[in-house]
């Protein structure tokens, strides 16, 4: 089976940028891997709004999977120490304790799935760790898995705003 596993964060993106990235990538399903999906970092990305927007605007299925979120303790320790190597070890150990690899079927990821979290980039985000962990596991099972991080390398061109004009009428 050939799979493309996308990752995306919503901070430092406008709603237009965020939805454009998903659309251009052809994402069919979002798996929200945040523990707290009701935060106000970006209004368009809080639940239940995000589920409504991705479905209504792009026809994308939305699923929340808190099993894939870091624990509050791991996040709190990282905020205190800023030790990313320790964060990675703690997070991967948590995923092992939760037996994540045995619970996720690769066929559920055939629809160009995007792992959603808040961080703008994948470098220091658990969604990258998840994508790499899943890809390695599924590759070992004979699947072809590609990881693509949906980020803005350059500003997305803005569409010009069109003004509404009454055709055939004289200006007042």
Torsion sign (Cα): 83, 84, 85, 87: positive
Contact 128, 149 (CB under 8 A): yes
Q: What's the pLDDT score for residue 103?
A: 92
Q: What's the pLDDT score for residue 111?
A: 82
CATH class of domain segment(s) 2-150: alpha beta
Map out the domains of the chain as residue ranges: 2-150
Q: What's the pLDDT score for residue 167?
A: 40
Torsion sign (Cα): 1, 61, 116, 105: negative
Mean pLDDT by 10 residues, the chain (172 residues): 95 94 97 84 83 96 96 96 98 98 91 94 97 97 96 65 42 37
């Amino acid at each position: 089976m050939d799979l493309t596993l996308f990752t995306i964060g919503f901070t430092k993106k406008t709603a237009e940028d965020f939805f454009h990235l998903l659309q251009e990538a052809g994402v069919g399903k979002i798996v929200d891997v945040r523990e707290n999906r009701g935060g106000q970092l970006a209004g368009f990305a809080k639940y239940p709004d995000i589920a409504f927007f991705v479905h209504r605007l792009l026809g994308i299925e939305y699923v929340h999977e808190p099993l894939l979120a870091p624990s509050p303790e791991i996040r709190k320790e990282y905020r205190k120490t800023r030790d990313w190597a320790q964060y990675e070890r703690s997070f991967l150990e948590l995923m092992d304790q939760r037996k994540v690899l045995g619970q996720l079927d690769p066929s559920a990821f055939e629809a160009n799935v995007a792992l959603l979290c808040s961080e703008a980039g994948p470098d220091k985000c658990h969604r990258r760790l998840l994508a790499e962990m899943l890809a390695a596991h599924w590759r070992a099972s004979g699947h072809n898995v590609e990881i693509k991080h949906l980020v803005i390398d350059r500003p997305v061109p803005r569409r010009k705003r069109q003004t509404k004009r009454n055709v055939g009428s004289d200006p007042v």
